[in-house]
Amino acid sequence: MGSRVRRIPAALAAGALVVAASLAIGVVAAAGTPTVVPHTTVAAPHGPVVVAIGDSIMEGHGLAPSQAWPALLANEFGWRLTNLASDGSGFVTTGNNGDDFADQVAAAARLDPSIVLVSGSSNDLGDDDTMIAGETAATIRALHAALPRAQIFAVSPIWNDKDVPPQLDSIDLDVTRAVAAVGGRTLDIGQPLYGQPALLQSDDVHPTPAGQQVIAAAVAKALQHPAA
């Protein structure tokens, strides 16, 4: 992904790893509940257990699971990663698998990670701001309650190559405040795809492999100096 980050927080460092195949089954609590599919697991025997909670951009829509930015970071830092991100999901919006971020939190709790990456999503655009803020706060509180020892990182949501809708900035602020309220940290990566249409797939929404690499590099840089 270009230049490698040599210095990262000690809790994020690890050794060698093996990239496992994409898992074919979902994490289902009972019949009729949403299916939360762990798209990628990266096994690093001595690395921290990391879970990613988010939408199709974090999932790596249209790409191999290993090309999504959380998997690229896992490969870089030696994480034992499970990527729970789901196409179409948000804090309010139900995704293609019938899950929202609260469902992903429930699945994450069963994995007992030491690090959780969570991001707001453009999938919630158009929903009521008060509802989004309330669901965001409740979901992050539930995440912290289920995993009180986990380090939670809020990653700013990704837009395309154009100007960011004001509501997405509001969604980002909701996540930042909710994560700060439970003692988590913010990874403000800005909009690394802005002005670079070549980094987007033909739908002008989802990053190409190169776009995912650019996002991964931005997150890696932010990990050096996460905001309180």
- Model pLDDT for residues 28-64, shown as the tens digit of each residue: 344 456 778 787 788 777 899 999 999 999 999 999 9
State pTM to two decimals: 0.86
Give how far the C-alpha of residue 212 lies from the chain's centroid of Cα atoms, to the nearest Å: 12
The domain spans of the chain are 34-224
Q: Where are the beta strands (DSSP E) in 23-166?
A: 41-43, 49-53, 80-83, 115-119, 151-155
DSSP 204-222: SSSB-HHHHHHHHHHHHHH
Query: Using one digit for the tens of pLDDT, what is the confidence trace for 129-185?
Result: 999 999 999 999 999 999 999 999 999 999 999 999 999 999 999 999 999 999 999
Question: Please, how many CA atoms are within 13 Å of residue 32, restricted to the half-sphere of its CB?
Answer: 0
Average pLDDT of the residues in 84-88: 96
**Three-class secondary structure of residue 58 per DSSP:** helix
CA distance 182 to 204: 35
CATH number for the domain whose boundaries are 34-224: 3.40.50.1110
User: Does pLDDT of 203 surpass 70?
Assistant: yes
**Three-class secondary structure of residue 121 per DSSP:** coil
Of 63, 76, 172, the closest CA to residue 122 belongs to 172
Confidence of residue 225 (pLDDT cuts 50, 70, 90): confident
Helices 166-181 & 129-146, crossing angle to 10 degrees? 30
Question: Please, how many CA atoms are within 13 Å of residue 130, restricted to the half-sphere of its CB?
Answer: 0
DSSP-assigned letter for residue 63: S
- The chain-wide mean pLDDT, for the chain, equals 87
Of 3, 69, 8, the closest CA to residue 42 belongs to 69
Residues 6+ apart with CB under 8 A from 85: 39, 52, 53, 54, 55, 56, 57, 58, 59, 68, 70, 104
User: Does pLDDT of 106 surpass 60?
Assistant: yes
- pLDDT > 70 in the chain, percent: 86
